[in-house]
């Protein structure tokens, strides 16, 4: 991408990002727009009291921000499923994460009118989004914004899910040809599709929208 094209994207993001933040606030989310990753990281931790226990759901955007390592570096107690030694231990840590203080995750898509769309295989990520942790902090980016709710659902199913499944050795149509076929196989990662249309209680879900292309 040349500098001229990049500047056009930055200009678009600087206009669209704050508009979507306003739409999120209208739906009772706490939301902020950040131009860059470093600002976003500092904003994340400004929301988290030092005594909070932190855990997370799978998010390539959160990984791009190095949030998981940063939480440990800053001295927070964490519930880290990736430190498990067995599948059973991993599942138990995922269950414990549902009652942590702060849960970090991303979103597969969000509509311009401020609704979140997420697809989950086992349901732990969307379960925490819906209920359990005292607060949920979502880090996302302007490439996840879709015009309408229907567009956001389509993005989650046809872009995010096929890209995510490539990370695993799953035998789904989208892992073979990159396109969603609405499969019902045991390896499907599209078990749970959740739309979050308002935040309840008010402010429990905090959305940090970054004006860059990050994650899927």
Does any domain span residue 26?
A: yes
Burial class (CB in 10 A: 0-12, 13-18, 19+), 74: exposed
pLDDT over 80 at 214, yes or no: yes
pLDDT over 70 at 185, yes or no: yes
Specify the CATH number for the domain of residue 125.
3.40.50.10420
**What average pLDDT is seen over the chain?**
94
Predicted confidence at residue 130, as pLDDT, reads 98
Secondary element (H or E) of residue 192: strand 192-196
Predicted confidence at residue 209, as pLDDT, reads 98
Do the beta carbons of residue 61 and residue 211 sit within 8 Å?
no
pLDDT over 90 at 84, yes or no: yes
d(CA 186, CA 193): 16
Q: What is the pTM of this model?
A: 0.94
pLDDT over 80 at 1, yes or no: no
Provide the number of structural domains found in the chain: 1
pLDDT in tens, 139-149: 999 999 999 99
Does any domain span residue 215?
A: no
DSSP string, 75-126: T-EE--GGG-SSHHHHHHHHHHHTT-SEEEE--SEEETTS-EEEEESSSHHH
What is the percent of the chain with per-residue pLDDT over 90, rounded to a whole number? 87
Of the CA atoms within 13 Å of residue 1, those in its CB half-sphere come to 9
């Amino acid at each position: 991408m040349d500098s001229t094209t990049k500047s056009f994207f930055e200009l678009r993001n600087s206009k669209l990002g704050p508009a979507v933040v306003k739409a999120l606030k209208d739906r009772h989310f706490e939301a902020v727009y950040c131009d860059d990753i470093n600002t976003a990281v500092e904003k994340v931790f400004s929301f988290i009291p030092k005594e909070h226990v932190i855990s997370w759901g799978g998010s390539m955007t959160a990984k791009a921000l190095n949030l998981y390592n940063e939480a440990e570096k800053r001295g927070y107690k964490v519930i880290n499923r990736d430190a498990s030694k067995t599948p059973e231990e991993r599942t138990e840590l995922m269950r414990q994460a549902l009652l942590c203080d702060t849960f970090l995750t991303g979103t597969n898509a969000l509509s311009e009118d401020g609704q979140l769309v997420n697809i989950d295989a086992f349901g732990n990520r969307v379960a925490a989004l819906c209920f359990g942790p005292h607060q949920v902090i979502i880090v996302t980016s302007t490439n996840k914004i879709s015009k309408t709710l229907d567009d956001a659902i389509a993005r989650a199913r046809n872009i995010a899910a096929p890209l995510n499944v490539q990370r695993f050795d799953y035998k789904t149509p989208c892992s073979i040809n990159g396109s969603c076929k609405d499969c019902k196989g045991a390896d499907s990662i599209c078990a749970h599709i959740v739309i979050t249309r308002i935040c309840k209680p008010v402010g429990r879900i905090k959305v940090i929208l970054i004006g860059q292309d990050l994650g899927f």
